[in-house]
């Protein structure tokens, strides 16, 4: 690779790297907080903003709307990346934080479905789109800004503080939501209390804008502008010039796609798995995840520091392969520790649902995913076939099952422990057989007299903390070095635009839709671990592609031109 010499730095007002990192990181933490409070409250939004009647489908629709915010992040990356490469880093991410903060606050005053009907989810979609656009422009600006201030040999260390912000934003959201929920009855929280975390974003917005107004522009950007070597067409130069476009593709499939699924599997999907599948009460799940985040977050900085010494690629690829190889045993261990009664019952009395046709396993899964997509986009008022009714009933009872092909000429069959217990869908027979098998013992009625959850006395909390922390450590390995890596492989004149798009496609599309895709596979196949195939396949593919195509630049200067 050929490159020109680095820019001579122009004189500028004094600004320490500590103040740069602190100001950039705080603002980005607040922006991730704004984005993630919806994700944590997905189950609440499913009840409030979508038609009542099918709780599982409302949850999936809520996750689909969570994904909507991610779907537009690449477009935000293009719009704000172009602005950042032409106008400057500082003012661009001032705009993004204003858009994010205002959109989040407006979610806190939205009427629900009971008040305005279909307009409620429609308005929520608009605000989630604005949030996604803002976040698409925020990350690239903050990472580029810090990297362009960092001294040689310390880009990984200093940009790793930006990498802590997504996890710290999630941690802040968990603490705020957990505190608010604990301070009021469940009915009050679902009535109005859920609005408080969104309205608090106004305070964070004012603080973020105040901090960022004190920053100066990036010295590398100023030097480039002084030499007149900026790009007038950063979008074309980033994606329509093959020498740069192929670097974008390598970064996407060899790094950011795998990073995205490891991040969301290890933090968000783990939270949903604990609460919706294993029925851990939200207070236990929030605080266990929060403890794991506190224990794991310092390792973002450790991995950033280490990447300055051994390179970014080795750490990221190690995280991909470890995740792909160990997700199944880790999530099975989570089941044993969080809901041992469910784990025992699943082993002693596995449930099988014979579909009533002669499809093979692969076609059943494809049909299930297709069915999920259809129902999310065009939800039916009620289940329309015996298979759909049986599946919906088992999901409503949180009973794991295996969807299998039926024998020729037979109708739907429910099997438990290898024995047929019901032919066709019959709610009464299903419940009697499931209760007899012990599935009524996998949850207990809590003191509030309403909530059924995993038995708090049986939860192995220390084991859960260790397992969840391990998942976070995988995240630190793939996410800690990636900002420095992306900054280093693109030239200054188009850096903001070039690095933002692969990051937000990988993190936003591959990662952001993980909860929806994985949960849909689980809901429509019955296998509580089947959703893990999605992150495993993507992480494995990134490992192979990255090993073959990614190159190292951790010991090079930032330059204004790169080429083959």
Pair (532, 511) in one structural domain: yes
pLDDT tens digits for 1-18? 334 444 444 444 456 777
Q: What is the pLDDT of residue 451?
A: 75
Q: Are 211 and 23 in contact (CB under 8 A)?
A: yes
**Overall average pLDDT of the 446-464 stretch:** 85
Residue 408 and residue 348 share a domain: yes
Our count of domains for the chain comes to: 2
- Identify whether residues 101 and 206 lie together within a single domain: yes
- Same domain? For 191 and 296 the reply is yes
Residue 116 shares a structural domain with residue 172: yes
Q: What is the pLDDT of residue 48?
A: 81
- Residue 115 in any domain: the answer is yes
- Identify whether the C-beta of residue 256 lies closer than 8 Å to the C-beta of residue 249: no
**Residue 477: inside a domain:** yes
Q: What is the pLDDT of residues 203-258, one digit of tens each?
A: 888 887 887 777 666 565 566 556 555 556 666 766 777 877 898 899 999 999 99
Residue 4 lies in a domain: no
Q: How far is the first Cα of the chain from the last one, in angstroms, to the nearest whole number?
A: 5
Q: Which secondary structure element, helix H or strand E, spans residue 35, and what is its range?
A: helix 17-40
In a domain, residue 450? The reply is no
Same domain, 212 and 96: yes
Evaluate whether residue 7 is within a structural domain.
no
CATH of the domain at 537: 1.20.1250.20
* Average pLDDT of span 427-446: 90
Would residue 2 count as lying in a domain? Answer: no
Helices (H), 297-441: 298-310, 312-338, 340-348, 361-377, 386-396, 427-437
Q: How much is the average pLDDT of 492-496?
A: 73
Picking from 383, 407, 442, the residue at the C-terminal end of a domain is: 442
Residues linked to residue 351 through DSSP beta bridges, in sequence order: 416
**Residue 244 in contact with residue 237, Cβ under 8 Å?**
yes
Which helix (DSSP H) or strand (DSSP E) does residue 354 occupy?
strand 351-354
Q: Quick one: pLDDT at residue 498?
A: 77
Res 369: pLDDT:
55
Other beta carbons within 10 angstroms of residue 557's beta carbon come to 12
- Considering the domain boundaries, does residue 387 fall inside one? yes
Residues 380 and 427 in one domain: yes
Residues 326 and 423 in one domain: no
50 and 177 in a single domain? The answer is: yes
Strands (E), 385-484: 402-404, 413-416, 419-423, 444-445, 452-453
What's the CA gap between 1 and 359, in Å, rounded?
52
Strand partners, 452: 445
Quote the mean pLDDT of the chain. 81
Helices (H), ranges, 214-241 = 219-226, 234-239
Q: How far apart are CA 315 and CA 327, in angstroms?
A: 18
pLDDT computed for residue 98 by the predictor: 86
What is the model's pLDDT at position 372?
54
Domain identity same for 437 and 504:
no
> Is residue 362 located within the same domain as residue 384?
yes
pLDDT at 285: 92
Quick check: 563 pLDDT over 50? no
Helices (H), 87-230: 89-107, 113-116, 119-149, 155-182, 186-188, 195-199, 201-213, 219-226
Distance CA 73, CA 84 (A): 15
pLDDT band at 134 (very low <50, low <70, confident <90, very high): confident
pLDDT band at 407 (very low <50, low <70, confident <90, very high): low
Domain residues for the domain of 381 are 344-442
Stretch 89-96: mean pLDDT, rounded? 74
402-404 and 351-354: which strand pairing? parallel
- Say which residue, 446 or 249, is predicted with more confidence: 249
- Percentage of the chain modeled with pLDDT above 70: 81
Percent of the chain residues topping a pLDDT of 90? 31
- Same domain, residue pair 240 and 360: no
Q: Which of 7-21, 393-407, 415-429 has the lowest mean pLDDT?
A: 7-21
């Amino acid at each position: 690779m050929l490159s020109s010499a680095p820019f001579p730095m122009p004189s500028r007002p004094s600004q320490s790297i500590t103040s740069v990192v602190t100001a950039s990181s705080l603002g980005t933490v607040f922006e991730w907080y704004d984005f993630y409070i919806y994700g944590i409250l997905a189950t609440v939004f499913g009840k409030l903003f979508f038609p009542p009647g099918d709780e599982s489908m409302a949850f999936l629709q809520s996750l689909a709307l969570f994904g909507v915010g991610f779907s537009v992040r690449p477009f935000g990356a293009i719009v704000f990346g172009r602005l950042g490469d032409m106008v400057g880093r500082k003012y661009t991410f001032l705009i993004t934080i204003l858009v994010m903060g205002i959109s989040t606050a407006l979610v806190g005053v939205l009427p629900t479905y009971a008040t305005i009907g279909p307009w409620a989810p429609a308005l929520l979609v608009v605000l989630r789109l604005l949030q996604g656009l803002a976040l698409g422009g925020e990350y690239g600006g903050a990472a580029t800004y810090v990297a362009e201030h960092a001294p040689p040999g310390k880009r990984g260390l200093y940009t790793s503080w930006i990498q802590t912000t997504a996890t710290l934003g999630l941690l802040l959201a968990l603490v705020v939501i957990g505190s608010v929920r604990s301070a009021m009855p469940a009915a009050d929280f679902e009535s109005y209390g859920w609005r408080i975390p969104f309205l608090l974003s106004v305070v964070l917005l004012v603080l973020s804008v105040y901090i960022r107004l004190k920053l100066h522009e990036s010295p590398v950007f100023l030097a480039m502008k002084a030499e007149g070597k900026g790009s007038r067409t950063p979008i074309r130069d980033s994606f329509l010039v093959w020498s740069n476009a192929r670097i974008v593709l390598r970064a996407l499939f060899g790094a950011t796609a795998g990073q995205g699924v490891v991040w969301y599997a290890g933090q968000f999907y783990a939270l949903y798995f604990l609460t919706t599948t294993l029925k851990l009460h939200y207070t236990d799940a929030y605080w266990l995840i929060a403890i794991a985040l506190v224990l794991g977050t310092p390792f973002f900085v450790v991995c950033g520091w280490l990447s300055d010494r051994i390179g970014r690629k080795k750490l990221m690829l190690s995280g991909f392969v470890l995740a792909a190889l160990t997700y199944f045993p880790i999530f099975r261990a989570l089941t044993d520790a969080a809901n041992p009664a469910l784990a025992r019952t699943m082993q002693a009395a596995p449930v099988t649902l014979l579909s009533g046709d002669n499809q093979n396993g692969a076609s059943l899964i494809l049909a299930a995913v297709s069915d999920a997509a259809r129902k999310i986009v065009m939800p039916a008022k009620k289940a329309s076939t015996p298979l759909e009714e049986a599946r919906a009933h088992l999901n409503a009872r949180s009973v794991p099952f295996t969807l299998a092909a039926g024998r020729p000429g037979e109708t739907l069959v429910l099997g438990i422990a290898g024995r047929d217990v019901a032919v066709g869908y019959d709610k009464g027979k299903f419940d009697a057989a499931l209760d007899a098998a012990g599935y009524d013992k996998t949850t207990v009625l809590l003191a509030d007299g309403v909530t059924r959850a995993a038995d708090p006395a049986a939860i192995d909390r220390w084991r859960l903390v260790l397992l969840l922390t391990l998942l976070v450590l995988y995240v630190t390995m793939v996410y800690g070095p990636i900002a420095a890596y992306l900054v280093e492989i693109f030239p200054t004149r188009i850096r903001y635009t070039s690095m933002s798009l692969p990051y937000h496609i990988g993190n936003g599309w591959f990662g952001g839709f993980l909860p929806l895709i994985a949960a849909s596979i689980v809901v429509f196949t019955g296998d509580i671990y089947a959703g893990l195939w999605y992150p495993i396949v993507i992480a494995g593919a990134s490992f192979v592609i990255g090993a073959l195509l990614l190159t190292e630049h951790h010991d090079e200067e930032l330059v204004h031109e790169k080429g083959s």
